[in-house]
């Protein structure tokens, strides 16, 4: 279902963004801007509904991995601030020095929760401060085993929430009264989904608020000594791919509209490459062998064989032939958690969730293409 909903959204957003950045008169530019804003709102609603369905399912599973928590939180916070600038809002990040270096955690869903809480704080703060705090408690339990409690807290100095609304703030059916929603665009399902995710992680999302003064949302995750990694993670710089001919970018995409959108976006970013098209997974493998592309954009849902299997066949060919791995970027409407895990297993380097825009493609290319 997510694929059915996100694929047409990808076309609407991509083409609208390209039109907005083209040579248009002021009136037409304003119309396209309105379309983009409405499409982004619709995209947010679709994402929230899909997320709600996923986190409400009994099949929802956490995919924990070793994570440099402080570093990942710093990156998350920096990215959020860059995309939510406002002259009247200041941001603060406080990470306690005793936070363990590495922990086993599903950072994908943790990031989703924190982004939802930060977005909520931003939306309901006209002027003031938005703060993210991380603190840690360590205590001894039976047989000398250590247990860690890491508390995540997002605080704002915004409009606050009434005591009556606080009681139902995480309910699917109640996301704020009409005046609050109209003035500040509403909280959507972000808080509802966040509460459900935190519950899946074995904790509870709580809120304290006072009208006119602001709100704070917090939750505490527990990690026992088996979930704490004691060795130090080495900080590595991004290593560029080995020098090789950079002549062709291969786009494996069965949807012609999506192919055209992606082609236009790439051509807007760089003119150094010839773009080749494969309409299914079998053709993708064949054209990889024919053109030796510098980069492949791989759609996941394609006829004959999907993007995962096509990637596996490409990686197997590279191994047998003794040639360097070509960077492969998955572009898919598959939910992020599942998509990232399956992409990693198949040998895909980067996963980009549909709908996509110029910024997402540019960021992905920045790490791979030396332009």
- CB 237: neighbour CB atoms within 10 A? 5
Split into its structural domains, the chain has a count of 2
CA-based radius of gyration for the chain: 23
User: How confident is the model at residue 161, as a pLDDT?
Assistant: 85
- Strand 328-332 with 295-299, pairing: parallel
Domain containing 332 equals 248-366
Say yes or no: 303 and 168 in one domain.
Answer: no
The answer to whether the beta carbons of residues 56 and 170 sit under 8 Å apart is no
In tens digits, what is the pLDDT along the chain, a chain of 371 residues? 566 677 777 778 888 888 888 888 888 888 988 888 888 778 777 777 777 777 777 778 888 877 888 888 998 899 889 888 888 999 999 999 888 878 888 888 899 899 999 999 998 898 999 999 999 987 655 555 557 889 999 999 999 888 878 777 787 655 444 444 434 444 467 888 899 999 999 999 999 999 889 999 999 998 875 555 543 333 334 334 344 445 789 999 988 888 888 888 888 787 778 899 999 999 999 999 999 898 899 998 888 889 999 999 999 888 888 888 888 988 876 555 556 777 878 888 888 877 677 777 777 676 555 44
User: How confident is the model at residue 89, as a pLDDT?
Assistant: 94
DSSP letter string, 116-147: HHHHHHHHT-SSEEEEEEEEEEEEE-GGG-EE
The answer to whether the beta carbons of residues 148 and 229 sit under 8 Å apart is no
Residue 123: CA count within 13 A, CB half-sphere: 19
Say yes or no: 270 and 127 in one domain.
Answer: no
Angle at 278 (CA atoms; ends 276, 280), nearest 5 degrees: 170
User: How confident is the model at residue 233, as a pLDDT?
Assistant: 37
CATH at 206? 3.30.565.10
Say yes or no: 119 and 212 in one domain.
Answer: yes
Say yes or no: 174 and 123 in one domain.
Answer: yes
Residue 6, in any domain of the structure: no
Say yes or no: 224 and 283 in one domain.
Answer: no
User: How confident is the model at residue 245, as a pLDDT?
Assistant: 47
Q: How far apart are CA 11 and CA 135, in angstroms?
A: 43
pTM: 0.57
Residue 45, in any domain of the structure: no
Terminus-to-terminus CA distance in the chain, angstroms?
37
User: How confident is the model at residue 327, as a pLDDT?
Assistant: 87
Say yes or no: 204 and 136 in one domain.
Answer: yes
Domain C-terminal end among 229, 257, 277: 229
Say yes or no: 314 and 279 in one domain.
Answer: yes
User: How confident is the model at residue 74, as a pLDDT?
Assistant: 92
């Amino acid at each position: 279902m997510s694929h059915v909903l996100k694929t047409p959204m990808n076309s609407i957003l991509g083409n609208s963004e390209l039109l907005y950045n083209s040579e248009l008169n002021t009136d037409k530019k304003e119309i396209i801007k309105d379309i983009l804003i409405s499409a982004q709102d619709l995209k947010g609603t679709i994402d929230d509904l899909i997320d709600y369905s996923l986190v409400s399912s009994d099949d929802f599973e956490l995919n924990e991995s070793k994570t440099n928590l402080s570093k990942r939180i710093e990156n998350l916070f920096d990215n959020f601030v860059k995309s939510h600038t406002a002259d009247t809002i200041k941001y603060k990040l406080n990470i306690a020095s005793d936070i363990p270096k590495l922990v086993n955690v599903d950072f994908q869903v943790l990031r989703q929760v924190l982004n939802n809480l930060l977005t909520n704080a931003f939306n309901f703060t006209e002027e003031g401060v938005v703060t993210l705090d991380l603190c840690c408690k360590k205590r001894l339990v039976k047989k000398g085993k250590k247990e860690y409690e890491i508390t995540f807290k997002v605080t704002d100095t915004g409009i606050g929430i009434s005591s009556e609304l606080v009681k139902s703030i995480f309910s699917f059916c109640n996301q704020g009264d009409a005046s609050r929603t109209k003035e500040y665009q509403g909280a959507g399902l972000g808080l509802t989904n966040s509460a459900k995710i935190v519950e899946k992680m074995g904790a509870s999302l709580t809120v304290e608020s006072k009208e006119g003064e602001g709100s704070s949302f917090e939750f505490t995750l527990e990690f026992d000594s088996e979930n704490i990694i004691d060795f130090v993670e080495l900080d590595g710089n991004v290593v560029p791919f080995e020098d090789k001919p950079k002549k062709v970018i291969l786009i494996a995409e069965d949807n012609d509209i999506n192919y055209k959108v992606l082609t236009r976006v790439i051509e807007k970013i760089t003119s150094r490459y010839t773009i080749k098209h494969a309409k299914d997974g079998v053709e993708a493998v064949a054209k990889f062998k024919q053109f030796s592309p510098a980069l492949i954009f791989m759609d996941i849902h394609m006829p004959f064989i999907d993007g995962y299997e096509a990637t596996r066949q490409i990686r197997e060919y590279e191994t047998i032939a003794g040639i360097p791995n070509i960077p492969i970027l998955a572009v898919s409407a598959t939910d992020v958690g599942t998509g990232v895990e399956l992409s990693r297993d198949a040998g895909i380097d980067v996963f980009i969730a549909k709908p996509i825009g110029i910024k997402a493609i540019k960021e992905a290319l920045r790490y791979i293409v030396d332009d």
